[in-house]
A and B are shown apart, each in its own frame.
Chain A
Amino acid sequence: MNEEMYIGFESYLANEMPADEKTRFEEKLQNDAQFGEQFRLYQETTQFLSHKFASETSDFKKNLAAISDDYFDETAEKETKVINLRPWYYAVAASMLLVFGTLLFTMNNPQYGDYNQHETAQFTERGDEDVNLKKAQDFFNDHQYQKAVLAFEKANNLNTPELQYFYAIALIETNRYAKAELALNNLKNGTSVYKDKATWYLALSSLKQNKLENCKALLQQIPADAEDYDKAQKLLNDLD
C-alpha cells in the first residue's frame, strides 16, 4: 500500500497541506492520470462514508420507517374493516381531504423548480486553469451540483464575480442557503454585471425556502432593463 499517497490525499482534502506542497500535489493531479484516478476514488469513498454516517441519513431512515409503518398498518386495517365503518372514520377522511386540498393548493403555486434552468457555465475556456474549476464547470453544466460545490471549494481562487455567481447557484441547488446568500448579497451590492442576476437568484433562494414575502421584495428590486426582468415580473404575478 502506498501510505504516503493516502496520507497526502487526506491532508489535501482536510485543507491542511502547506502551500508549496499543495501546488506540487495539484500539478500531479493534472499530469498524472493514474494518480488523479486514485484521488477521485479516495474522494468518492470519503463522500460515501460521510453520507453513510451523517445523522441526517439516519434521521431520514427513521422517519421513512415510521411513515411506512403507519401507511401499511393503516391500509391493512382498512382492508379488514371495510364493512364496519365507524362514524369517526368520516371525520378522519374529511380531515385527510382537507390536508390533501391544502397540499394541492400549495402545489399550484410557483415552485423553484419552474425557474431553475440555469445558464451554462463557461468560466474555464482558456485551458490553463485550475483543475478544480474545470471540474466545477463540468459538474455544474451536468447538474451535479453537490459535486460542483465540492470542486468549487477546492479551487485556488473564487474571487471573481462570475465564479461567485455560479458557486452561489450550486449552493442554492444543494440547499446551502446561508452561504449562497452571503455570496449573492456581495454581488448585489457590487458593480459587476452579475449585480441584477444576483438579486434574481436571491429571490429564487427565498422561493425555494418558501419565504414568499422575501422573494417578492427582492423581485421588486430588479430594474426594468435587467435580463431577468420579464421572468421576475411573471413570478411576481404568480405569487400574488
Chain B
Amino acid sequence: MTEKKLHPDQLYIDGLVENNSAVIQSIYKQFVPKVKNYIRNNSGDDDEAQDVIQEVLITIYNQAKIKGLQLTCPFDAYFFLLCKRRWLNELKKSSNKEVTLKDDTVSIDASVQEMTSQTEVFDEKQSLFDEMFQKLGDKCREVLQLSFVLKTMEEVAAKLNVTYGYVRKKKSLCTGQLTEMIQQSPRFRSVN
C-alpha cells in the first residue's frame, strides 16, 4: 500500500497527459468559471484569466509528463490555488496597477498546500531552465533544438552541413554549458 492515496481526480491529470480533448473541455466547464470569477473580482479581466489558466494547465501537464505527477488532493482546490497564486504574483509584478484584493480567508487543506507548492517549485525550475536556454548562443540553441526534433544525430549533421562527430560534440558541450549556467544562477539554490 502507498502511504498517500492517489485521489480519484487523477483522471484529470491523466487526461491532460494524454491530451484528451473531452477531459480538457470538462476541466474548463467544471473548474474554470470559479477561477475566472476570482480574477475578475480581483482587478483582472477575461484575457488575463485566460492566460493564467492556460499557463497553469501547461505547468501541470509538464510536471505530469516529466515527474509523473500523482494527485493526492481534489483537482478543484489544487487548480484553483495554483491559478490564484499565479494571479497574485502577476498583480505584484505590475504594482502600478491598483490592487483591490477580495481575499477569502478560508483555511486550505495541507495536502492541497503541499501539492501546490511542489508544482510551484517544479515550475520555478522549468522557468529557470528556459531562461538559461534563451541565454545560450544561437548556434547552441539551434543544435540542441534540432537534436531533439530530428530523429537521429545523422539527420542533424546533414541539416547543418557538418560532420556527425561535430554535432555530437557540440550537443554535449552546449548541454554542459547550459547546466553550468543553471548552476551558477542564484535562483538554482531555491529550486534544487
Partner of B8, one of A114, A117, A143: A114
How many residues from A make CB contacts under 8 Å with B?
55
In Å, the complex CA distance between A114 and B26 comes to: 20
Asked if B178 is at the interface of the complex by the 8 Å CB criterion, the answer is yes
Cβ of A10 under 8 Å from chain B: yes
> Chain B contacts of A144 at CB under 8 A?
67-68
Q: Is the CB of A113 within 8 A of B67?
A: no
Chain B interface size, as a band, is 35 or more
Contact A143 B68 (CB under 8 A): yes
Of the candidate stretches B51-59, B84-92, B95-103, B107-115, the one touching chain A is B51-59
Specify which of B24, B133, B145 is in contact with A67 (CB 8 Å cutoff). B24
**Chain B binding surface, main DSSP class:** helix
- The answer to whether B32 and A71 have CB atoms under 8 Å apart is yes
Q: How far is the CA of A55 from the CA of B150 in the complex (A)?
A: 10
User: When A10-B172, A10-B175, A174-B68 are in contact, do A67 and B180 touch as well, CB less than 8 Å?
Assistant: no
Complex: chain A residue closest to B171, CB-CB? A10
Q: A42-B179, A71-B32 are in contact. Are A6 and B172 (CB under 8 A)?
A: yes
Is the Cβ of B144 less than 8 Å from the Cβ of A49?
A: yes
Contacts of B62 in A (CB 8 A): 51, 57
B161 interface residue per 8 A CB criterion: no
| CB of B38 closer than 8 Å to a CB of A | no
Does A125 count as interface, using CB distance less than 8 angstroms? no
> Which of A58-66, A82-90, A193-201, A231-239 contacts the other chain?
A58-66
Question: A111 touching B8 by the CB < 8 A rule?
Answer: yes
Q: Which residues of B contact A75 (CB under 8 A)?
A: 33, 36
Q: Which of A6, A11, A64, A173 contacts B173 (CB 8 A)?
A: A6
User: Contacts of B123 on A, CB cut-off 8 Å?
Assistant: none
Q: Which 6 A-B pairs have the closest CB atoms?
A: A6-B176, A10-B172, A53-B148, A71-B28, A6-B172, A145-B68
Interface, chain B (partner A; CB < 8 A) = 1-2, 5-6, 8, 10-11, 14, 16-19, 21-22, 24-26, 28-29, 32-33, 36, 46, 50, 53-54, 57-58, 61-62, 65-68, 70, 126, 129-130, 133, 144-145, 148-149, 168-169, 171-173, 175-180, 182-183
- Can you spell out 5 A-B residue pairs with CB atoms less than 8 angstroms apart? A3-B176, A49-B144, A63-B24, A71-B28, A103-B26
With A1-B177, A10-B171, A52-B148 given, can you name 11 additional A-B contacts, CB distance below 8 Å? Answer: A7-B169, A52-B130, A60-B61, A63-B21, A72-B50, A75-B36, A100-B26, A113-B6, A117-B6, A145-B68, A146-B67
